């Protein structure tokens, strides 16, 4: 009979090394596929915009660092509650887990609504603040405005996916993320381009289109996120065996719950804010290099996602595993699983990094027909390929520490490496080496970051001391 390995973890069962690796693979594969599919669809999305010319691509690239900042802040709030849910499920406290889940939705939605209003207010000013070329400011502003208005839907989708994942359900969020990506491409196909003639099954037909360009790309993404959010909440609130709503379980948020949420979310939120500020600063370093460099930078970031998104899929699995394992009081098992997940992340991203180095010209060629963008984008991708193994270390170890509720020190490490290494080197190298210098600085910084995280994990493995979410259970 097939064993439920995650249930064995919660109930104190013994797992061999082979079973631990199998469990990591089982939890990682849906997350990896979802992350890769997201990047593939972003790839297609960027390719659609790239066909409009260098200007529209540069417009989206100009505000992309700020969209990452906003996404990071929303994710920080939800993380404070999803990790607590994982611990309570691991401890067998499913009723308490559902209460934390409800409070997480309420607080996250309030926060994200305020953030969305802030984004709407700053949308017209942002391209000017970032030093964007006047020719791309209008489109960049429109894109960010639509993005900001969609933030509440994004937050609902993100926290619902996080709750399902922390309960051990990786398949549904992974599948729905793929569905959302397909919908994104479908909506973009009709919203970005104007009506045009095409061939379908050998027949000449008129293909309808709104011709909204960059704004159409933002609207397509927004509609796909809205549909995905509704589906995520259906599977969480109605279909989830552990977390679906029960009558009579409404309760106020407790001081202890809020304290733990703040203890997790505040460091992650500060990290997202300061890291996001660093990405914005990096954009300001790239902007003076011209629209070709800005577009090549944006396309290269999208292309690189194919290499590092598998690491994030494994990191999600690590957060669930470590959260439930520590919730069940199994510290020795948590320590072992943490090193296994990191090893798997390094292995996977070493392979993807090698593939990126080999196929860099083809990866950029899909995104843009411009020969200058293709040459520059391929060059910086090949520089970045050497950073992928240690980038994997920092990504997966971050997921491990989040599962333990340990977010402060990892946030400090991220901030130090980003501001003290990447931005300093980028500012020195960009005027001399252009975009290649910026990406060389990024490669060096990711090596430094990976080594810092590895030292932290070796010197203080998860479960070696009392963590923020200590339940009082013992091995």
Query: Digits of tens for pLDDT over the chain (475 positions)?
Result: 456 788 888 888 888 899 899 888 888 888 787 777 766 666 666 677 777 777 887 788 788 778 878 888 888 888 889 989 998 998 888 999 999 999 999 999 999 999 999 999 999 999 998 888 888 899 999 999 999 999 999 899 989 998 998 888 888 988 898 898 889 889 988 999 888 877 767 788 888 888 898 899 889 989 999 999 999 999 999 999 999 988 778 888 888 888 888 888 888 887 777 777 777 788 789 888 888 888 888 888 888 888 888 898 899 889 889 999 999 889 999 999 999 999 999 999 999 999 999 999 998 988 788 889 999 999 999 999 999 999 999 999 999 998 888 888 888 998 899 899 999 999 999 999 999 999 999 999 999 999 999 999 999 888 765 555 554 333 2
Task: Indicate the domain borders of the chain.
Answer: 5-459
Instruction: For residue 200, give every residue at least 6 positions away whose Cβ sits within 8 Å of its Cβ, in sequence order, or none.
Output: none
* 8 Å CB contact between 389 and 383: no
Tokens encoding 344: 């798997």
Residue 235 DSSP label: I
With vertex at residue 413, the alpha carbon angle to CA 408 and CA 414, rounded to the nearest 5 degrees, is 100
The number of beta carbons lying within 10 Å of the beta carbon of residue 362 is 11
With vertex at residue 103, the alpha carbon angle to CA 115 and CA 311, rounded to the nearest 5 degrees, is 65
Q: Tell me the DSSP string of 411-454.
A: HHHHHHIIIIIIIHHHHHHHHHHTHHHHHHHHHHHHHHHHHHHH
Instruction: For residue 232, give every residue at least 6 positions away whose Cβ sits within 8 Å of its Cβ, in sequence order, or none.
Output: 156, 157, 160, 161, 164, 172, 173, 176
CA 441/CA 300 separation, integer angstroms: 15
CA 56/CA 211 separation, integer angstroms: 13
CA 475/CA 329 separation, integer angstroms: 5
HSE-CB at 287 with a 13 A cutoff on CA atoms is 24
């Amino acid at each position: 009979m097939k064993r439920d390995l995650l249930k064995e973890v919660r109930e104190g069962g013994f797992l061999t090394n082979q079973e631990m690796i199998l469990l990591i693979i089982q939890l990682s594969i849906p997350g990896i596929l979802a992350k890769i599919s997201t990047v593939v669809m972003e790839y297609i999305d960027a390719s659609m915009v790239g066909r409009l010319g260098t200007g529209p691509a540069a417009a989206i690239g100009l505000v992309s660092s700020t969209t990452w900042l906003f996404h990071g802040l929303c994710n920080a709030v939800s993380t404070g509650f999803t990790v607590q849910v994982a611990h309570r499920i691991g401890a067998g406290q499913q009723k308490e887990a559902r209460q934390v889940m409800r409070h997480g939705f309420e607080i996250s939605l309030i926060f994200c609504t305020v953030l969305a209003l802030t984004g709407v207010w700053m949308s017209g000013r942002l391209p000017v603040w970032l030093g964007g070329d006047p020719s791309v400011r209008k489109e960049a502003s429109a894109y960010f405005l639509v993005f900001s208005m969609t933030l509440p839907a994004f937050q609902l989708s993100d926290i619902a996916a996080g709750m399902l994942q922390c309960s051990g359900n990786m398949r549904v969020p992974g599948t729905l993320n793929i569905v959302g990506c397909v919908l994104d491409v479908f909506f973009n196909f009709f919203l970005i381009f104007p009506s045009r003639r095409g061939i379908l099954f050998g027949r000449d037909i008129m293909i309808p289109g709104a011709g909204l360009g960059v704004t159409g790309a933002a609207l397509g993404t927004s509609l796909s996120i809205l549909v995905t959010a509704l589906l995520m909440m259906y599977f969480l609130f109605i279909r989830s065996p552990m977390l679906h709503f029960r009558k009579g379980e409404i309760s106020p948020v407790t001081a202890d719950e809020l304290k733990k949420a703040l203890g997790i979310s505040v460091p992650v939120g500060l990290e997202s804010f300061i890291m996001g500020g660093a990405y914005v600063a990096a954009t300001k370093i790239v902007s003076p290099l011209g629209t070709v460099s800005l577009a090549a930078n944006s396309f290269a970031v999208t292309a690189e996602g194919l290499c590092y998104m598998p690491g994030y899929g494994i990191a999600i699995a690590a957060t669930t595993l470590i959260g439930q394992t520590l919730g069940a009081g199994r510290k020795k098992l948590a320590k072992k699983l943490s090193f296994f997940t990191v090893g798997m992340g390094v292995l996977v991203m070493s392979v993807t990094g090698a593939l990126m180095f080999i196929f860099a010209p083809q990866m950029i060629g899909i995104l843009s027909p411009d020969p200058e963008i293709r040459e520059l984008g391929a060059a910086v991708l090949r520089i970045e390929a050497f950073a992928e193994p240690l980038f994997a270390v920092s990504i997966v170890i971050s997921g491990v520490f989040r599962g333990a509720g340990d977010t402060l020190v990892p946030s400090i490490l991220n901030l130090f490496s980003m501001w003290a290494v990447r931005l300093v080197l980028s500012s020195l190298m960009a005027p001399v080496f252009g975009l290649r210098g910026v990406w060389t600085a990024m490669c060096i910084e990711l090596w430094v970051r990976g080594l810092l995280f590895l030292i932290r994990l070796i010197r203080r493995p998860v479960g070696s001391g009392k963590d923020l979410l200590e339940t009082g259970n013992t091995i």
